[in-house]
Structure 1
Amino acid sequence: MFWSLDRFSREGLRKTVAYLQQLEALGVRFRSYTEPYLSTENELVSHVLLGVLSYFAEYEAQKISRRTIAELERVRAEGKVLGRPSTFDEHRGAPGEMLDSGVATAEMARRTGLSYNTVKGHLRRIKAEQVETDASA
């Protein structure tokens, strides 16, 4: 028994439904003190209730997703760059020069203070730019 569904979980409808389904799977019945219609003592009511709540949880998740995507598109349209700033332009020359000198990727990372994977990413971009330059020439 719980006081009300909103007191049972404050993590949103989707997680609340997941918790209720876990309880159901364990054979635990639930009942809301202030919302007597939220009870799983009747198996038919239980399945209908979980079905309806699941539908609304999914609908809520889709609504949140659409709003998030719309806001990201709006912000990008205004010219805002999302994510952390790239280190590529700042370090563009160093890995390229070291690559020409035959310096190992791990050594490039140590010298530039960048992570190994970041240096590898920079080298991939440098090589891709070289391929584009060679193809257009």
Structure 2
Amino acid sequence: MKIGYMRVSKTDGSQSLDLQSDALRADGVDKNRIYRDMASGRKDHRPGLESCLKALQPGNTLVIWKLDRLGRDLKHLVTLVDELNSKNIGLKVLTGAGAQIDTSTANGKLVFGIFAALAEFERELIAERTRAGLAAARARGRKGGRPRKMDKATLMMAVKALEDKSITVQEVAKRLNMTTTTLYMYLNGDGSMKEPGYKLLS
């Protein structure tokens, strides 16, 4: 089954969806299975696209007029196409620079593979940058990773540490690898317990 998506970037009526709609319907997309957005491609929130992606099932084909109607930018486009591929959802681009993408053809499947390779390359770059950032932080004496959550043992350590009036809440939070916001949820600045602290200990 074919499901269509179309988008124009202005909501003032100066751009019409008619051209895209006609092209999608000419390709066999039912008019009741076409999703639309009237928003800039740079916007993160596109309810039409979100609904479209939820409606797609394995074996379906997403049909779009041009490739630039789909992604916010190249990175977002690569991610979307890779997700479609992983879910066994086809993609067909009717015109423009991406018109060679039609996963019912051998060339289209090849292009899908290229998008998957680009997505993997992006993931490797992110992982490499993360590892490099953590190594640099460790070299400066900082620990990486997610801030620690509060538990009974950590709470008692914080209370004990704050008995020393020369130590600030910020210093204690840093030593325990948590944010001051988390610490203040359970303790007052002088180390006395707040209600959530008592609840945690009980």
Question: TM-score, normalising length from structure 1?
Answer: 0.52
Whole-angstrom distance in 2 between the partners of 1:115 and 1:77: 38
Whole-angstrom distance in 2 between the partners of 1:35 and 1:69: 36
Using the TM superposition, give the Cα deviation of residue 44 of structure 1 relative to its aligned residue in structure 2, in angstroms.
0.4
In structure 2, the residue matched to 1:132 is none
In structure 2, the residue matched to 1:59 is 121
Moved over 4 A (4+): 109-112
Superposition CA RMSD, Å: 3.6
- The 3-state SS of whatever aligns with 2:92 is coil
Aligned length: 99
Structure 2: stretches of 5+ with no match in the other structure: 1-63, 162-192
Whole-angstrom distance in 2 between the partners of 1:84 and 1:16: 33
- The 3-state SS of whatever aligns with 1:66 is helix
2:147 maps to 1:84: yes
Larger-gyration structure (1/2): 1
Structure 1: stretches of 5+ with no match in the other structure: 94-108, 121-137
2:130 to 40, 43, 68: 68
Whole-angstrom distance in 2 between the partners of 1:85 and 1:42: 49
Counterpart residue identity of residue 107, structure 2 = V
Contact 2:134 2:143 in 1 (8 A): no
Whole-angstrom distance in 1 between the partners of 2:134 and 2:198: 29
In structure 2, the residue matched to 1:104 is none
Name whichever structure is richer in strand by fraction.
Answer: 2
Name whichever structure is richer in helix by fraction.
Answer: 1
Question: TM-score, normalising length from structure 2?
Answer: 0.38
Whole-angstrom distance in 2 between the partners of 1:20 and 1:47: 9
- Counting only pairs closer than 5 Å after superposition, residues 1-137 of structure 1 correspond to structure 2 as 1-4=64-67, 6-10=68-72, 11=76, 13-19=78-84, 22=87, 25=88, 29-31=91-93, 33-40=95-102, 43-82=105-144, 83-84=146-147, 88=154, 89-92=157-160, 113=197, 116=200
Whole-angstrom distance in 2 between the partners of 1:29 and 1:111: 55
